[in-house]
Amino acid sequence: MRALFVALLLVYASGSGKVAGANGAKGNRFVCTAVPAGTDLSCPVETTNRVQSTSPQEEELRNTIIQLRETILQQKETIVSQQGTIKELNSKLARCEADVRSRGSARRKDYSKNTMGDLPRDPTESVEQLGKTMQSLKDRLESLELRTNTSNGAFPSELRDLLKRRLSDLEGQLLTRVAELEEEKSQLYNETAAHRQRTENTLNSLLERITELEKSNSAFKSPEDFKVALPLRTNYLYGRIKKSLPEMYAFTVCMWLKSSASPGIGTPFSYGVPGQANEIVLIEWGNSPMELLVNDKVAQLPLSVSDGRWHHICITWTTRDGFWEAYQDGERLGTGENLAPWHPIKPGGVIILGQEQDIAGGRFDATQAFVGELSHFNMWDRVLRPIDISAMANCSAYMPGNVVPWVDANVEVFGGATKAALEICEERLFDS
């Protein structure tokens, strides 16, 4: 603007110079002087008014001057509006800075808490630096504004535009950086969460493994490798099978047992149903031989096992003619018939190991209690073939019962009866 002003004066002066040259003889001369900013610009126009003659040149000059005046007035208006823009920018800047400050301090807290560290650069500092740069720019802008206000002079538009551009650039950068930091923070948070999740998973699986190991340490090699020990002749030591029986028209019951009790080993097992405590009973008491009871009917079995060694015994029965078989150590030692013929075995009763029931599930008699060890008590709802029974007895096969399989989880012990690991089959075999 100042340059424009000077140019204007120069144009005027040179124009006058020509006039002066033409009227040199009359001695009419104009002196070219610099006009300070803000002086009344109407002066040169008045001067031209004094020139009486209106040559085309002078007319042109006058028009130019009028145009220039208008331009200057427009420039003034522009300055005022630009001052408004500067004000607006200042307030934006202040908001932006406040934002940066608050984010910066929040971030500092985040990072001081987070000991994972090892970030390639400190994002807090770069944001702070940006903030400082903007602050200094703002200061510079203010002082420039002040100068504009006091001097009432022209504000260098290029500088202002430059500043404006620079400021909006900075603003953009700052916003981008803040967005980046937000992203970084979220990523960091996710990573931490993922890391924690992984650690937790590992710990959980370790815990599970330990629990498993602890369990298997106290439990048996496999669920069927255990025996029940009933060491005393009492009316309260016993084992109970959790499963009951279905209605059956035939059965096979097998077990390994070891006893040296006398007289008679007692009751290895009994099955009582409501209304019939002696639905199925295997018992040896007093000086009687071993007996099988079905529906309270009795058959005497030619079995003898009270030598304190392991023995494998099996008894089969079928409702058809009440036919039965008795096996000891894989050999069939006796058969008979008419034991509760055509009687179906009643379902829903209680299987007790080691005690004879006087009512279903209770009222035991110490004199009838089994004393010794019991294992592999298995029950089928059919008559097993001799070959299957001898294979089990000579340890070449193991068959779990289809109605009562011998498994740890299926057997409860009470009154001091215990579960213990079972000797391997061959050991039981050589023992017998």
Residues that bind ligand NAG (CB under 6 A): 83, 142, 145-146, 149, 183, 186-187, 190, 387, 390-391, 394, 396
CA angle 410, 327, 373 (to 5 degrees): 45
- Cβ closest to ligand NAG, residue 300 vs residue 394: 394
Task: Please report how close the Cβ of residue 344 comes to ligand NAG at its closest, in angstroms.
Answer: 31
Which residue, among 37, 73, 70, 407, has the nearest Cα to 222 in the 3D structure? 407
Q: Indicate the burial class of 313 (C-beta count within 10 angstroms; 0-12, 13-18, 19 or more).
A: buried
Radius of gyration of the chain (CA): 57
Task: Please report how close the Cβ of residue 155 comes to ligand NAG at its closest, in angstroms.
Answer: 11
Please give the structure tokens belonging to residue 24: 């040199």
Region of residue 71 (left: phi > 0; alpha: psi -120 to 50; beta: else) = alpha
- Cβ closest to ligand NAG, residue 51 vs residue 395: 395
Task: Please report how close the Cβ of residue 390 comes to ligand NAG at its closest, in angstroms.
Answer: 4
For residue 63, what are the CA distances in angstroms to 77, 244, 431?
A: 21, 123, 137
- Cβ closest to ligand NAG, residue 80 vs residue 409: 80
Backbone angles phi, psi at 139, to 5 degrees: -60, -45
Helix axes 56-113 and 42-50, enclosed angle (nearest 10) = 170
For residues 356 and 62, give the distance between their C-alpha atoms in angstroms, rounded to a whole number: 139
Task: Please report how close the Cβ of residue 424 comes to ligand NAG at its closest, in angstroms.
Answer: 15
For residues 428 and 430, give the distance between their C-alpha atoms in angstroms, rounded to a whole number: 6
CA angle 47, 52, 57 (to 5 degrees): 80
- Cβ closest to ligand NAG, residue 312 vs residue 346: 312
Question: Which residues are bridge partners to 411 per DSSP?
Answer: 241
Task: Please report how close the Cβ of residue 396 comes to ligand NAG at its closest, in angstroms.
Answer: 4
Task: Please report how close the Cβ of residue 52 comes to ligand NAG at its closest, in angstroms.
Answer: 44
- Cβ closest to ligand NAG, residue 10 vs residue 146: 146
- Cβ closest to ligand NAG, residue 97 vs residue 145: 145
Question: Which residues are bridge partners to 250 per DSSP?
Answer: 318
- Cβ closest to ligand NAG, residue 182 vs residue 214: 182
Task: Please report how close the Cβ of residue 423 comes to ligand NAG at its closest, in angstroms.
Answer: 18
- Cβ closest to ligand NAG, residue 57 vs residue 143: 143
**Would you give the end-to-end CA distance of the chain in angstroms?**
125
Backbone angles phi, psi at 252, to 5 degrees: -130, 130
Question: Which residues are bridge partners to 299 per DSSP?
Answer: 292
What is the enclosing helix (H) or strand (E) of 256?
Answer: strand 250-258
Task: Please report how close the Cβ of residue 183 comes to ligand NAG at its closest, in angstroms.
Answer: 6
Task: Please report how close the Cβ of residue 305 comes to ligand NAG at its closest, in angstroms.
Answer: 20
For residues 92 and 102, give the distance between their C-alpha atoms in angstroms, rounded to a whole number: 16
- Cβ closest to ligand NAG, residue 394 vs residue 432: 394
